[in-house]
Amino acid sequence: MANTGFRIFTRINRPAPELIDAFRDVPVANIGDSMNRASMLDARIRRISKVNLAGPAFTVKSRAGDNLMLHKALDMAQPGDVIVFDGHGDLTSAITGELMMQIAIERKLGGVVIDGAIRDLGTLRDLDLPIFAAGVTPAGPYKDGPGEINVPVSVGSVVVNPGDIVVGDEDGIVIIPPAQAQGILAKAQKKQADEGAKMAAIRGGTNDVSWVDRELAAKGCEIIDDFWK
């Protein structure tokens, strides 16, 4: 009999490392724009440490304030994996702190994303481990379960599946379906190149902004050559 709500799946399909690595130098904003601004986590989930992340999602979900399944995930995840923890956005108890994140470093994980709270902020923000979280509190967690590992989760209002590509920088996090990753990568890289050319034009004083007036005219904006009365 299936024990829904208290299960662990041991296997995930991880994308090719070279595909994941190709996203590391592309800003999350460019990736998100190339996905019609979809699949970007809520702004409340912010980067805690100083390093960006890119890796396959190793998903975890638990009841609010409980980190039993996160302990198990730290033991299971492979080097490069990004643990994505669905903590329901609860900020009353810290799901992880310095000790557990040191385990993540020793395991050579690609990062940790917590839709919930963390603690030991002074230490965590200096670690060479990508850490993203929704908040900070000194209150500790419970270790009772239940929970699930490597099932679809909801984190930052986005559904994340095991093996999805997770990319994060100082702006936030975007989730990329592996089956669509090559096309998204090509669009994001082109957008990055286009923005580079636009920046050069701005700095050189040759940036063309005539499109703004064309857009206003097309939308029927009234322009009045007089003072407001």
Q: What is the CATH number of the domain that holds 105?
A: 3.50.30.40
Q: Is residue 220 part of a domain?
A: no
In a domain, 96, yes or no: yes
- 3-state DSSP call for residue 86? strand
Count the domains in the chain.
Answer: 1
d(CA 65, CA 36): 34
55 annotated as a binding-site residue: no
| pLDDT, tens digit (0-9, with 9 covering 90-100), for 70-101 | 999 999 999 999 999 999 999 999 999 999 99
Amino acid at 150: N
| Residue 229 falls inside a structural domain | no
CA distance 162 to 40: 16
User: 140 among the known binding-site residues?
Assistant: no
100 is in an annotated binding site: yes
Q: Is 101 annotated as a binding residue?
A: no
3-class DSSP state of 76: helix
Query: Is 214 annotated as ligand-binding?
Result: no
54 occurs within a structural domain: yes
Please give the residue range of the domain that contains residue 135: 7-187
Residue 168's alpha-carbon distances to 29, 47, 78, 133, 208, in angstroms, are 10, 8, 19, 12, 32
Give domain status of residue 205, yes or no. Answer: no
Residue 110 known to bind ligand: no
Structure tokens at 169: 């920088």
Tell me the pLDDT of the chain (229 aa) as tens digits: 689 999 999 999 999 999 999 999 999 999 999 999 999 999 999 999 999 999 999 999 999 999 999 999 999 999 999 999 999 999 999 999 999 999 999 999 999 999 999 999 999 999 999 999 999 999 999 999 999 999 999 999 999 999 999 999 999 999 999 999 999 999 999 999 999 999 999 999 999 999 999 999 999 999 999 999 8
Nearest to 183 by CA among 22, 54, 13, 42: 22
Report whether 73 contacts 103 (CB < 8 A).
no
Tokens at 104, concatenated: 């993540």
Q: Do 61 and 150 meet the contact criterion of CB atoms below 8 Å apart?
A: no
Residue 192 located in a structural domain = no
Q: Report yes or no on 208 lying in a domain.
A: no
In a domain, 176, yes or no: yes
